[in-house]
Structure 1
Amino acid sequence: MSISLSIILDTRRIKQKTNKYPVKVRVTFKRVSRDYQTIYDLSKEEYDKLTAPRINADLQIVREGLKEIQRTAENATKDFLDFTFHEFEKKYIVDNRFFRPRKFRNVEAPITNYQFDFSSYEQKFSILKEDQSKPDFISTVYISYIKKLLQEGRIGSAFNYQDSYYSLKKFRSNLPFAEITVSYLIQYEQWMRNKDCSKSTVGIKLRPLRAIFNEAIEAGIIDRKRCYPFGRRKYQIPTSRNIKKALLLNDIALIYYHKPICVDEQKAKDFWLFCYLANGINPKDVAYLKFKNIEGEYLVFERAKTENTTRNDPKPVTVFLTEDILGIIDKWGNKNRKPGNYIFPVLEEGLTLLEQHFAVRAFVKFINDRMARIGMELGIEKKLTTIVSRHSFSTQLKRSGASTEYIQEALGHADKKTTENYLDSFEKEVKKEFAAKLTAFKHNDLKTA
């Protein structure tokens, strides 16, 4: 285990009060360095005199202090079986009279008035049993953040972070942040692509890792300047090309008038159309709808996906209850219409958050699987998933002349850019049509003399 320590004068920025520079201890481990500011400030001339045989009394005190720091720091590093900067700071730097107080926080979950019970999650979240003894390893911060997500009831996000961790672990085990470099990320991407994973999948796995890096920086575990591999001129997470997901109106008509031969396909078709007609509503939001969301002729609800991000500025989605929507509610909805009851029997009272998560997943799978069969029967090439119903809603609005701002409000998007991404493929289709019109005369029967 190679750890080097040196005393340096940080001449990047002079202190206004003393007109001198801070003296720091630089610790280097596995080619990663971290500086710790001592209580001493020196000018360049004073720093150069430290090695002189004869110096004044004040500088002699500084020199003896720096020798003491060097000696005790070296002894401290010898006590570690597995050195980490986090543990070094906690055991040596914090409360050491030779060092300036520095921001230092533990990565453990904040103390609350009650102890959150994670035992019911351990079967599905095996990451909770992973090693947490090394604060500067990615597993520790992943676990800390996943616990936070579970406490907030964000089960789907917690699963995404767990999947991200296990993908990285499978590639090259659990590692300290310092070893996840630009080169590592490039090799990971190549490894994923060799497994026929798309750029989109690579992005899905690496965005949580980037968030975990930011958590570690915020907690003081790593330094952004020395240990952050993401960003401009570093590693950039790949993004996929926006693939057109919307259906043409003729395809939607085929679905609408289709007569399924079994009850399950009829039910799936009706729920798919409900998603399409009700502003492209997400199936998770369908599951959470309650009769109290019906306000006269309208259905008013807040999207589960943006509930946390729009807490200070809620953006409720308002849907006019058409005859088709009301018909689907009458056909498949709960008969007891008390305001607190769910509209559809996807969820029921008393379910845990984890049970609710899997009930919604089963609901989505039920729709998508049966709509796939309907798509094959109708000869529709695109997959008839619930996300396609959402994209189809936005595209048909745009074709009808609706503004992007109106579509943003209808979809419940907090950011206009998200709506523009939905409509990107539509805009390309329009450009194609307009380009063809420039030479429409080629298809006329008129001939020039």
Structure 2
Amino acid sequence: MWFSDCNTFSKMQATSGTERFNELFSGLEDCDEDEQRKKIEEMNEIFDGMNKEEFESVFTTRMFYKIYKMIEEKKLSIENAILLLKHVGYCDVLKNFWNPFVEKSLLNKRFEQMIIEEEKIKEEKNEKLLVDLCECYLLLNGCASSELISICVPCLLEAALKKDESEETRKEKEIALLALSHIDRYFFFRQELYLNEIKENILYHQEHHNLTQLAYQSAWEFLMNRFYFENSLKVIVNELHFGREAARELEELTRNMDWKKKEGEEMNKEEAKEEFALIRWLKTCEMYFLNCRLWNEENPGLINSIVHLYRAAKGNNGVICNLCIYSLRNAAEKRVVRVEDLLKGGAIDVFLEEMQRPKLNDNIAYECFQFFMNVSSRLKEKEDDEKEEEERKATKMETFEKLEEEGYEDTITSFYGIFELLKNKYYGDLSLSISDYLVNI
């Protein structure tokens, strides 16, 4: 009964917050600029606590049209509109919401026009306004035009390079880099538009620690998204040391998380922020494993940090555990990560543990079979180089002994009957031959 009353109270709070938000919004056009600002600051606080359903009930086509109309009729200043919309976009990205109304709205077209016009001004350009407009535009858009990208990317990278260490500047840099990280990975633009600046941002942080944790992760995500078309970007491995940096960040976040909470138990604001950071880093690691083509000695350490995170989250956070599994499976699929790296990093142990669970859902079972199929396939490929062939044989023997010790052959054989079912369910390339999952010497 008490639990039911708590749920009812929580829903009443949410409803009350949404109603207050709508009340404040409807009164915006009847206020002067200072009063508008106060109302918007309160609206932003309410928005921080909204869930997906509440967000979708508030930010509708009608609302974006009303904001556009108030701007056009000069009932809402562009500065106050930005104060609201930038926070909407910031929380939208943080909470992984997506609003389909913005991209085709008149408000979006108005922002595009303003960015282009502001960029054309050669003297007395309002740099802050241009940065604000670019941030709003990228945070609220799933895609952008080539013309707008060519303006927004250099503008925001420059804003992120500010050396001022004030809290306000750190927040500004965080929003600029978060906006850049929201640019779709399938959007190609030339290296000269971004590479030197994002490299400088990352290197400067590595030396001076001037970025927030989210800002630093966002800088990496922006760069890693470019990897989709530029998979030979040697700077990621050779100069910026992604493996080392990602491992360090994952280890720190893993230590800071409260893993004693039961799965589904409500987190406070700081805990939710740390969970969000872990999820973003894991997804960035996935992109790295999928698209990088350059092996480096930092890979075992990165894999080991993901394994540590998996063990910490096991039985506590299913979302993070599953993301660890996906990242490690992607690592096994690509030659950039050696089987030796998977062995040393503890990835093989993780998949053996998953397969020995009393209950294994279809999705994770599929990932496990993919992982061992890839490991087996790669260990069977002979190397032309004599030294590398000797290393392959040694790794194969070590892997065989570990699998034999854990009773792997009996375990994988017991699952044989569901291979075809999973192959059809996930439209994957699972082999129906049991020998393709075995490591024989």
Higher relative contact order (CA 8 A, sep 6+): 1
Q: How does the TM-score come out when normalised to structure 2?
A: 0.22
Q: How does the TM-score come out when normalised to structure 1?
A: 0.22
More strand by share: 1
More helix by share: 2
